[in-house]
Each structure stands twice: as structure tokens, then as C-alpha cells.
Amino acid sequence: MVFIALGLPRYEVSDDADILLNMSDPYYAVPYMAQLVLYAVGQFETGRRCLHHAKIAGHSWLGRGMWAVAAGSVCILCYCVTRGVQMLLVSLGTIYPWNSSWWITGSLGPLLQIFGWTVPSWGPRVLAANRCVAAYISYLQLRPLWNALYQATPGIALEPPQSHLVDLLPRRGLQYRLYRRVIEVRDGQLSLRPHLALADEALVAGSGLTDVTAAREAAVLMAVLRARTSDSVVIVASAELDAAMAPQRNLDAETERLTKVARAFRHLERRPQHKIRGRAPVQSPSSAGRSS
């Protein structure tokens, strides 16, 4: 626009080399240098203010956007310095350096600033969508364990299970449905405590699962379900296995733990059935006295 307004002579430009050659003409170099100076001053002030306010905003999406804008300002300042040095060297008749690298900072800077200016508007939506997808995956992965517990204790569920095809369809209130499924799995575990059983360590060792704690808890639940189905005697689990079923500090942690257990449970279900090794029932001192 400056060249058109001042009526400056136009030059045929085919590549960056022609641009630098035209810089030897003061009618071209002076407006271009003025543009670079204004560009650099504006970006310096933008970066300075964004750095100041990014520290105040913290780790919110606004703060992340300001950090991105500040990084873009640094890249654009590097671009301005590079082009200024090239102009100076060309005017002195020296071969210009960085003839193919300036465009990196010149392109990266605006992209970072576009990201930074817009991320406060779409960033939270992307995060919410990511949480929704994670909740949907956890909801589906909990189904095998939840279904097995429901078959043993139907009273844990507010609604009877629907077909697997219907369960695959994402529906409204997904967070509430996931919360309810986690609570119902926990209720199922608590209802099976009178039938606590020892897991088959051979089954755990041969499962190939890396998370041994989740695999051991899944094997415990398999043994408990078999004990309840056959109405067998009560077998007391070790304190370590009992502690593994302790509730977590919040719903997210509980969902993550139970999802791992559900994956391990499904993995063990697909393997050939192993006989659970039992021990003799452990009696409390009071029951031992009554039996004598």
C-alpha cells in the first residue's frame, strides 16, 4: 500500500533474491525498512505485554494463549532483524546471509500468534470434547466388569443392562452414566466381600499384563464371582489384595483404577479357565470358641 500511495516505481519480483537486489534502490529500501521498524516495535510491545499478563493469568487458556503470542512476537522480531541485516549487507555490496532461512521465523511467528489469539475461545471446547471421549471409552471398558458383577448381584444397578449394541451408542448424560457405573461397580465389589477369595497367582503371572495390581484385583474378582456362584465357603483374602480394592481419593482416580481393572478382567476372561487355588477357611477366634 505504501508503494502504491507514494507512486514508487514497481519492480518485477520473482523470488527472494530479486527482493534483496531491489533493496539497493533507496526508493524501495526506505519504505521497506520503515515497515520493518514499525513491525518490530509493535511486536516488541505486544510480546512485552503478553509476557506480563501471562504470568498473571496463570495456567488458564488465556495464559497459554498469551505465552504463544509472546513466542510468536520473538519469532517475528528475529525475522525483522534478519531482514534488516540482509538489507544492510546488500546496500554495502556484500553477499547476504541466511538467504533461505528467514522464512522459518517469518512463517512460524504469525502462526503462533494466530494460535495464541484464538485458543482461549476453542481450547476449552477441545478439552471438553477430549474429556467426553475419555469418559465414553471408560464407560465402554467398564461394561464387562459391571455386567459380571450385575449377574452376581442385580441389586447394584438402577436399571437393567441393555443390549451391547445400545450401550455402544453415546447418549446424553454420559458423565452421569459413567459416575453411576463406577458407583455400581464399587457396590458390586462391596457386596462380594463375604465371598473374598485368593487370586490364582499363576493366572496373574501368565496373563502378560504389565499392571500387576490391576491384574491381581481382576483375578480376585473372578475368584469371588466363582465362589458366589458355587456358594462355596468363605476364603479370606490377604490384606494386600483387600487394600487394593480401597476407594480412591476422587471420582477421576476411581474411574481410572476401575478401568484398568476392567481391562484386565476382560483380558483374563478371554484366557482358558484356570482353577483358583484355595486355602482352608480362616476362622476368627470367637467362631473357633463357639465350635469347640
Q: Which residue has the higher pLDDT, 219 or 179?
A: 179
- pLDDT band at residue 44 using 50, 70 and 90 as cut-offs: very high
Please give the pLDDT value at position 255: 87
What is the Cα–Cα distance from 142 to 144, expressed in whole angstroms? Answer: 6
Reported confidence tier of residue 69, pLDDT bands at 50, 70, 90: very high
CA dist 278 and 230 (Å) reads 14
Provide CB contacts within 8 A for 182, sequence distance 6+: 142, 251, 254, 255, 258
Name the percent of the chain lying above pLDDT 70. Answer: 66
Distance CA 228, CA 232 (A): 7
Rounded CA separation 200/220 (Å): 8
| Maximum pairwise Cα distance, the chain | 114
| C-beta separation of 10 from 3 below 8 A | yes
* Closest by Cα among 156, 219, 225, 153 to 195: 225
Q: What is the pTM of this model?
A: 0.63
Tell me the C-alpha distance between 124 and 64, whole Å.
Answer: 12
Kind and range of the H or E element at 54? helix 26-57
pLDDT at 111 over 90: yes
**In this predicted structure, what is the pLDDT of residue 205?**
53
Task: Reply yes or no on whether the pLDDT at 281 is more than 50.
Answer: no
Measured CA distances, 45 to 32, 41, 69, 268 (Å): 20, 6, 11, 61
* Residue 108 clears pLDDT 70, i.e. is over it: yes
Q: What is the CA radius of gyration of the chain?
A: 34
Residue 182: closest CA among 71, 259, 273, 91: 259
CA geometry: angle 204, 206, 207, nearest 5 deg: 65
Location of C-alpha cell 458423565: 175
3 state SS of 275: coil
User: Tell me, what DSSP letter sits at residue 280?
Assistant: P
Element housing 52 (H / E): helix 26-57
